[in-house]
Amino acid sequence: MTRKFLCFFSTVFICFLCFTTSAQGTVTRSFTSTSTTPQGLASSVGQPFNQHVPSVSEGLLQGYTTVSYDTLLLLQEEMGSYTPGVNEVDTLTPEGYDETIYRYVYQMTCQGDVVHTMTQPGVPTYSVTLSEPEILPVGSVFPYGPVTLLLDRSNPYDYPVGVTTEAVWTASVAAQDKECRPKVTIHHFDCPTNYPLVYDYDGNLYPVVNLGYYCWTAKNMRTRHYTDGSVVANVMTYPSQYAPAGTDVEETFGNLYTWDAATGYNISGTQMQGVCPNGWHVPTRTETEYLLANFDAKQLMSADTQIRWIPQNGTDDYGFAFFPAGYYNPGLNRYESMYVRAYFWTTETEGSTIAYACEFGSACGTIAIVPAERSSGFSVRCVSNY
């Protein structure tokens, strides 16, 4: 009887052990990633976080305890919510077992904002290389998994001048995303500061104004000499009787030049100095088209209260102060359209007799590039070389 009882007890005990062992599966946590950053982080992919398989004796004596590994990605400014060195979190699984989670913590430090002022005019973009966010493990608990780091644009990148652009770095690890958003601000070249005094050969002074990333003279040219001292042929001045009493027409409105006179000195590539001071040139069609695309006519037209555009004056928002200087019509051999219309030459030509000019007229309230006889008398504005 005793022998049968012992056999039965042994069978039950062995079955209990078998049942206990089968109930203790291995709980794993894992993540996968496609690439790593060069900050010296681990490069394994799909790494299992659970490393503990309890023995039969542990199951009998302590109950079932799992050990898992989790990951926390924190921005530098979020590190206040985490105490370095406190990596263990004790919790209870849905099955009622004790669980210890080892937390592996990354700190992500972002680059600050970038501000740059252009050192030359005429350049629409500036190349900036952003530094990758620094992503480092906190403490010395291993293993750490790989981090994917992506920028929403190329690096380096040609950032537009005159605006602020936000770049986005995104770091991903263990199904967590964090972003760095550095702002890149590229200021225009400061034309008035860098060109405070611009004189022509005759000693006339011209103010300077920024129009986007170009520097323009803010008065019409009125020189009668090129910079080598030679006389400019075919200089025209609108008859003074049509100007307000006491107005110096040449000083206020500038002179009118044929296209050949305006551009006919020191031609170098696409930059024609012509009647412009040293370091300046007659605007190209591209430079002039930039005005059409970025400014309204009224913003560039003079707001003078005595010499007014007809029928509506300008607002002169940027200091370009383009006066209603009229023009000389060679076909009718007369001056026309003072107060109503004005033009300045570009270097663009068509054939041997036609060139293109920028036309202002308050009646239409727009700027247009139009063809004209090269023998016409138009104003001249200048753009700084770059």
* Identity of the highest mean pLDDT range in 138-142, 254-258, 307-311: 254-258
Cβ-based neighbour number of residue 155 at 10 Å: 13
Query: How many CA within 13 A on the CB side of residue 40?
Result: 4
Q: What confidence tier does 175 reach under pLDDT thresholds 50, 70, 90? A: confident
Q: What is the pLDDT of residues 177-202, one digit of tens each?
A: 999 999 999 999 999 999 999 999 99
Q: Which pTM does this prediction carry?
A: 0.74
In this predicted structure, the answer to whether residue 47 has a pLDDT above a threshold of 70 is no
The residue with greater pLDDT, 22 or 382, is 382
% of the chain beyond a pLDDT of 90? 60
Q: Give mean pLDDT, residues 15-36.
A: 29
Tokens of 96: 């009622």
Q: Give mean pLDDT, residues 124-151.
A: 83
Q: How far apart are CA 335 and CA 28, in angstroms?
A: 90
Q: How far apart are CA 18 and CA 15, in angstroms?
A: 5
Q: Where are the domains of the chain?
A: 26-187, 191-384
Q: What is the pLDDT of residues 331-352, one digit of tens each?
A: 999 999 999 999 999 999 999 9
Cβ-based neighbour number of residue 329 at 10 Å: 16
CA-angle at 104, arms to 84 and 101, nearest 5°: 100
